[in-house]
Structure 1
């Protein structure tokens, strides 16, 4: 980052700390948007600038066999636990899981002191707390919320903190299914969605409201849990961030208006602010207060994750009329350029993460890079339109799996999951209990 840019950010940051003013917070967010927009615009659309390892066909086949063997062994292991549930069956299942985990190029690098037990424990705690908080929450909703839990756990290790589920992490993550399901609902009108969001905004501002229904009862309680952990008088920016992400979600509703022909600049602004504010809020809820570098890094990570999500959802967004960078690019035949730009953009984002305090700096950056690129490669393999054969062939050499394997992977995974759901004596709680046996207390020494 150039000195003059950092100096301008520092001025905005100091003004915010001094004034505790909503306008000062908005100015900082606007500056973050402009900063990352300029990085995005300058990112190369040229294949020649991609700096990834190249995978030969034999390596791809080896990777695919490892994953297939792992999935088959996991299913066999769970069937054995379902039928016998003795020590040998449980131990064999656990060994299968960790043997793959510890030898996988995608997960094996430790990014925290008690890795991966701390991430598994956080996941387990979240599922249990969610089921207790609202038994009506579906498995799909829990998984949707878990993506944010994992993002917040990742931020914890980036900030050199212990990995664990806290009440603010739980509250903010489980808010996602409630608010996103409302925004995505085809049964609720735009006006109804806006009214709901406006009432949530009133609550986020600290106003005490009487819940109108079950939805508001749960949502307002989650806000209250955050207030109990972070008193408003001491954590002004945290609540400004919560209000800002709610506003950005309302703005994003405009993306679904098919009659609203937005420009690429407008789409970028909505997407960048929505994604950036989401993870910035994650960061505030982890620490309460943030340094300038933490603000800049979290906002950028949020943009990257938002764009990866948008690429994954191109087909669905196209059907529903949701305008994103990638639906827009697909319409004007520039999807390939936008995808290469995203791959180059990811590297810029990771370079700006404030990992210098973490003893796992290099490994965090490596794991994050690999998994972001994997998500993009999987998205490319599943899009039948927008990419030429030449483009797909060029991109394929950088992927650890073949395009055909990635395209069919979800069907394979769903088939295994359907088989697991038929096992009457298997639950998420039991699986996590097995994985955490003898491991949750292990703490490494640096």
Structure 2
């Protein structure tokens, strides 16, 4: 992708054109790379790869940058990032609870993980570091829709009907849509919904889902230059519905192939982050789209590795559970996922990537720093998930994998890194 193409806005007149070009961009920046990578752990000729000694793993006090092997930065920048994350997380928690007092701790935690990614992208793209209505709406959408789409108590007819209704709600909007109306954040009345009989029992869920779209419409008006926002949202919805094909069925012997699983994973993971990017900026260049596709696939696979035992119980096929179903260990897909992250274009520059946060010798910009931090933090999450799945790895691979960790595996498996961060932010910012 040359510079001219990279800096061109990804915009099309029709959703069909958008979808076609997006799928091509997705493949070029996810599976094309994935298939090219070796299924062995990276060697140390990559400056981000570092084997840890037992002494280093036992050290109680290590600098942040040394622990994660990331560039040094000035203390003010680290403090500012922490303040931004804490403030936006607190705002999100407060506003989510104001809208829906019944939302669970687990649902909020799940939503907040995506909020943190969006905060990172705000820093990378030099967007304002604030919680917008559209950020709130987008990150609350998927706890609600996941509950509906993945629920075993909802029959297939209802899911098909919901897919059609929600597709139109995202892409086209309500027939009564008025760009001058601002959604005030109070739950809409379920009696205003015009649902088919198959969805009548789900009206309390669906009204919340539609309200989240109203939050998004507060920031990005329909019918103008921001139609790509709604094309992006439609893309993640389609990918989410397509992911139902990952469920193997005992009743008729259906099971997806590895090729299908890889394709669905890449499309769904990439779609979730390009939608997030559009929520942040309204319009995206092809370069930013490519970057978000790449990151999204990686995050999807981390989720799948973290959820391996639950997915096995529910007969849901991911790249990892499919490997086990085929009688293989998790060695190869885990190694390839780590290779995928170490191939990250961490120094790919966007037009406004100029703000230096390091010492004068390295000149690392804020965007570069956050990209490297995301890459190394993602590798740490892979290692944490793998540390709990010892029985699914060969003994030799597990031992080699553990040498990449800044902590001994028997400590790392107890860390619960993301939930620990969530608890720290929760305690300090909103009690």
TM-score (norm 1): 0.78
Distance 1:349 1:103 in 2: 19
1:96 aligns with none
Distance 1:48 1:288 in 2: 37
2:262 aligned residue: 268
2:241 aligned to 227, 230, 250, which one?
Answer: 250
Q: 1:352 to 1:206 in 2, by over 3 A?
A: farther
Cα deviation digits, residues 372-402 of structure 1 (max 9, x gap): 1110101111113321111011111110111
1:240–1:102 CA distance, 2 compared to 1 (3 A): same
Cross-structure match for 1:23 = 16
Choose the corresponding residue for 1:291, options 263, 272, 285.
285
8 Å CA contact 1:158–1:354 kept in 2: the answer is no
Q: Give, in angstroms, the shift of residue 103 of structure 1.
A: 9.4
Mark the CA change 1:104 to 1:295 in structure 2 (over 3 Å): closer, same or farther: same
Rounded to whole Å, the distance in 2 between the matches of 1:307 and 1:124 is 28
Distance 1:128 1:273 in 2: 32
**Counterpart-to-counterpart distance in 2, 1:106 and 1:187:** 46
Provide the rounded CA distance (Å) in 2 between the counterparts of 1:288 and 1:33: 19
**Correspondences of 1:384-399 after superposition (within 5 Å):** 384-399=390-405
Give the alignment partner of residue 336 of structure 1, picking from 331, 338, 341. Answer: 331
Q: Is the 8 A contact 1:158 1:361 kept in 2?
A: yes
Q: Is 1:61 matched with 2:58?
A: yes
Alpha-carbon RMSD: 3.0
How far, CA to CA, are the matches of 1:350 and 1:112 in structure 2? 22
Q: In the alignment, is the contact (CA less than 8 A) between 2:124 and 2:371 conserved in 1?
A: no
The answer to which of 344-353 and 21-30 deviates more is 344-353
What secondary structure is seen at the aligned counterpart in 1 of 2:264? helix
Q: Does 1:115 align with 2:112?
A: no
1:103-132: CA deviations, max 9, x gaps? Answer: 975898576783211111000000000010
Q: Does 1:239 align with 2:205?
A: no
Q: Do 1:264 and 1:325's aligned partners in 2 also have CA atoms closer than 8 Å?
A: yes
Deviation at 1:176, TM superposition (A): 1.5
2:110 is the alignment partner of 1:125: no
- Per the TM alignment, residue 181 of structure 1 is displaced from its structure 2 partner at its CA by 1.7
Give the SS at the match of 1:385.
helix
After superposition, what is the alpha-carbon deviation per residue over 1:281-309, rounded to whole angstroms, capped at 9, x for unaligned?
00000000011111111111111111111
Q: Residues 113, 432 of structure 1: CA spacing in aligned structure 2 closer, same or farther, 3 A cutoff?
A: closer
TM-score, scaled to structure 2: 0.80
Higher deviation after alignment, 134-143 or 45-54: 45-54
Change (3 A) 1:48 1:164: closer
**Deviations 1:201-225 (Å, cap 9, x if unpaired)?**
1211334274252212211111112
Give the structure with the higher percent helix. 1
Alpha-carbon distance in structure 1 between the residues aligned to 2:101 and 2:17 = 41
Task: Note closer, same or farther for the CA distance 1:304–1:410 as it changes in structure 2 (3 Å cut).
Answer: closer
1:205 matched to 2:159 = no
2:342 counterpart (347, 366, 369):
347
Displacement of 1:153 in angstroms is: 0.8
Answer yes or no: is the 8 Å Cα contact 2:134–2:218 preserved in 1.
no
- Please tell me whether the aligned partners of residues 57 and 407 of structure 2 are also in contact (alpha carbons under 8 angstroms): yes
2:159 corresponds in structure 1 to 193
- Alpha-carbon contact 1:160-1:357 (below 8 Å) kept: yes
Residue 308 (structure 1) aligns with: 302
- 2:52 aligned with 1:46: no
